[in-house]
Amino acid sequence: MATIDAAPPVSRRRSVWSTVLRNPSVLFGGSIALIMLIIAILAPFLDTRDPAEINPSARNQKPGYTATVRDDEGKRIQVKYHLGTDSLGRDIYSRVIYGARVSLIVGITVAVIAVFVGLIIGMIAGYVRWLDSIIMRFMDGLMAIPEILLAIALVSLSRAGLPAVVIAIVIPQVPRVVRLVRSVVLSIREEPYVESAITVGTPTPTLLFRHVLPNTTAPLIVQGTFICASAILVEAILSFLGIGIPPEVPTWGNIMAEGRTYFRILPHNILYPGIALALAVLAINMLGDGLRDTLDPRFAKRF
Amino acid sequence: MAGYILRRVLSTLPVLAIVAVLVFLMLRLTPSDPAAIIAGDYANPQQIELIRERLGLNEPILKQFIIWIGGVLQGDFGESFFYKKQVAELIGERLEPTLSLSLLTILLVVMIAVPLGVIAAHNHGTWIDRLVMGFSVLGFSIPVFVVGYILIYVFAVTLDWLPVQGYQRIRDGVGGWLLRLILPSMTLSVVFIAFIARMTRTSVLEVLNEDYIRTARAKGQTEMKVLVRHALANAAVPILTIIGLTVAILIGGVVVTESVYTLPGLGLLTVDAVLARDYPTIQAVILLFSFAYVLINLLVDVAYTFLDPRIRY
């Protein structure tokens, strides 16, 4: 029995991943997301300058502006501002490229933390019956506060900075993960194999890790991807409103917030970071759509 | 039915109570001292203590809650630190732009998204369907403020057809009011049109396979009548659900849109209040928006019973 059992899961797992990778949404969204990740990592080598460097003689320039500056050794060099400059003379191109770093860090960190915290609370809610209704009422309350508004309220409570922003975006996401995990746990608990595991005296932690946890993986990967996209968007909104990450840090939201004043004359200050942001969110959402259709067909019909 | 509606109304009370507790606790459970944040970086301990006293932060937490919730129940949200007037009065002044924007947006969304979804479902699998779905994915991903600035650039700056920003009260002229709300409501509606067109398509598609649709067609009814009278009417419940649920996104969008177009509504008030660390105002606005969200979903649930007589809980 054991040998027969061991063989199929391996081949099935391989076939699942090949189905996933053949999905056009996964391919398209995943490739763009991967390219953005590579750009974010390689930011210093992509003909960028220090994104915080201020050049008072090159303020509010149009894309393609070339300036002559002295380098560290005092030699005159030509500098090209591919996407122009902002009102402090900072290079928009470099800021947009470096902005990818902040956005992706926020997106991935929020997704990982929200999924992890939600998984633990969700398993407790699904398994410890007396805690269930207390936890879920609390989560209902959190979910009744509109996501962005809750994030806005939470950032107002602490001093601005990356950790505060991450926490403020994580908290509204947690109840959604909790609900998902809880519903999986509740449905798994009634399965015959779980009941037989209980009958043979499997201790609860083993039961949760061996039988319940693997069943939450697929929906959580899907949910995590959507949370990542949503987190990038909310971070940009908070920065844009001027209540997120401090303005000197290059984030797409901050670049756009800075570009508001001269928008009529220099629309590129808002346009380019806006395109980058839309592309990132679109790519990750498409990746999520594709993953949901292939990994988690049960939920595919929800939308 | 009356019994169901009553039970549904009563079931929202605990949620509202928990929201109130959360909004109250948020300020108290913060790791940093709210009084110190309000006082700013250069305040001395006496000034901070004065603010603590004024906020009532030295009282036991339960007493603070009872005082606060007692006030809220009577419509008294305290005094704004920043604007130096009653928060309730402040909210009253800011209500009109927000309501105008939201209602106009919902009107626009229903007028555009529902027909779009029905058309996509009717032409299922063709390029029209793919076009609508493509727009839907795109519309869902482009951030509200990017849409806003693109529209401003095209219609206000380049073509000069519409005003760039600002608001005109409805009593100062309906024409000017509407003119200034066209771009904001177009901006805000993009996400919802994407969402609701998609949802409409899915639910109409499901219904189109039903026997009664075939019967209707066999009777020789026009396709228009089949789609609207038979398909859409039966697909209305899921569409309504999604409209109810997307109110949360609408509220988030209102905050951003008002900021882009400098509409002096509740959204702009929220942002200004956060920048000024004006906690009584923040609490009141969050509470108000959350209550609106919960109540709208209550209305949606109650509306089901009228739309679909099969639904009984």
DSSP at A62: P
CB crowding B77-100: b at 16 or more within 10 Å, else e: bbbbbbbeebbbebbeebebbbeb
Asked if A157 reaches chain B (Cβ–Cβ under 8 Å), the answer is yes
Which tens digits make up the pLDDT trace of B235-245?
Answer: 777 778 777 87
- Residue A267's domain comprises 20-300
Which residues of B fall within a CB distance of 8 Å from A233?
143
For B248, the closest of A146, A157, A236 (CB atoms) is A146
* Residue A6 placed within a domain: no
The answer to whether A66 and A32 have CB atoms below 8 angstroms apart is no
Which tens digits make up the pLDDT trace of B45-73?
Answer: 888 888 777 777 777 878 888 888 888 88
| Residue B234: both structure tokens together | 């039966």
HEC string of chain B?
CHHHHHHHHHHHHHHHHHHHHHHHHHHHCCCCCHHHHHHCCCCCHHHHHHHHHHHCCCCCHHHHHHHHHHHHHCCCCCECCCCCCEHHHHHHHHHHHHHHHHHHHHHHHHHHHHHHHHHHHHCCCCHHHHHHHHHHHHHHHCCHHHHHHHHHHHHHHHCCCCCCCCCCCHHHCHHHHHHHHHHHHHHHHHHHHHHHHHHHHHHHHHHHCCHHHHHHHHCCCCHHHHHHHHHHHHHHHHHHHHHHHCHHHHHHHHHHHHHHCCCCCHHHHHHHHHHCCCHHHHHHHHHHHHHHHHHHHHHHHHHHHHHCCCCCC
**pLDDT above 80 (res B306):** no
For A137, the closest of B14, B27, B153 (CB atoms) is B14
Which of B19, B146, B298 is the best substitution to test chain A (most A C-beta atoms within 10 A)? B146
- Looking at residue B26, its pLDDT comes to 80
How confident is residue A228, by pLDDT bands cut at 50, 70 and 90?
very high
Asked if B276 reaches chain A (Cβ–Cβ under 8 Å), the answer is no
Window from A140-149, A229-238, B123-132 with minimum mean pLDDT: B123-132
Domains of chain B: 93-312 (1.10.3720.10)
Which tens digits make up the pLDDT trace of A26-61?
Answer: 888 888 889 889 888 887 776 667 777 776 666 666
Inter-chain residue contact B251 with A289, CB threshold 8 Å: no
Range 141-170 of B in CB contact (< 8 A) with A: 141-146, 149-150, 152-153, 157, 164
**pLDDT above 70 (res A82):** no
* Residue A142 placed within a domain: yes
* Residue A64 placed within a domain: yes
How much is the pTM?
0.84
* Residue A77 placed within a domain: yes
Number of domains in chain A: 1
Q: What are phi and psi of B33, to 5 degrees?
A: -80, 115
- Looking at residue A8, its pLDDT comes to 46
Q: What is the mean pLDDT of residues B304-309?
A: 74
- pLDDT cut 90: percent of chain B above it: 0
Tokens 């067109």, residue located: B197
- Looking at residue A111, its pLDDT comes to 95
Element (H, E) at A67: strand A65-70
Inter-chain residue contact A149 with B290, CB threshold 8 Å: yes
For B271, the closest of A140, A233, A241 (CB atoms) is A241
Which residues of A fall within a CB distance of 8 Å from B301?
none
Inter-chain residue contact A278 with B149, CB threshold 8 Å: no
How confident is residue A173, by pLDDT bands cut at 50, 70 and 90?
very high
**pLDDT above 50 (res A301):** no
* Residue A135 placed within a domain: yes
Q: What is the mean pLDDT of residues A269-288?
A: 88
Nearest residue of B to residue A158, measured between CA atoms: B32
Q: Which CATH number fits the domain that encloses residue A213? A: 1.10.3720.10
* Residue A79 placed within a domain: yes
How confident is residue A270, by pLDDT bands cut at 50, 70 and 90?
confident
For A157, the closest of B32, B198, B294 (CB atoms) is B32
**pLDDT above 60 (res A300):** no
Asked if B289 reaches chain A (Cβ–Cβ under 8 Å), the answer is yes
For A149, the closest of B30, B144, B286 (CB atoms) is B286
Nearest residue of B to residue A135, measured between CA atoms: B18
The answer to whether B257 and B187 have CB atoms below 8 angstroms apart is yes
B293 CA: distance to closest CA in chain A (Å): 7
For A158, the closest of B15, B30, B141 (CB atoms) is B30
Nearest residue of A to residue B203, measured between CA atoms: A303
- Looking at residue A218, its pLDDT comes to 85
Distance of CA B114 to the CA centre of its chain: 19
How confident is residue B203, by pLDDT bands cut at 50, 70 and 90?
confident
Mean pLDDT of chain A: 81
Asked if A221 reaches chain B (Cβ–Cβ under 8 Å), the answer is no
Which tens digits make up the pLDDT trace of A135-171?
Answer: 888 888 888 888 888 888 888 777 778 888 999 999 9
DSSP string, A6-21: HHHHHHHHHHHHHHHH
**pLDDT above 70 (res B81):** yes
Cα B286 from Cα B288, distance rounded (Å): 5
- Looking at residue A117, its pLDDT comes to 95
* Residue A49 placed within a domain: yes
**pLDDT above 50 (res A6):** no
Nearest residue of A to residue B158, measured between CA atoms: A264
B175 CA: distance to closest CA in chain A (Å): 25
Which residues of A fall within a CB distance of 8 Å from B276?
none
CB–CB contacts below 8 A, A to B: 142
Which residues of B fall within a CB distance of 8 Å from A148?
251-252, 255-256
**pLDDT above 70 (res B79):** yes
* Residue A5 placed within a domain: no
Residues written for chain B: 313
Which tens digits make up the pLDDT trace of B159-172?
Answer: 777 777 777 777 77
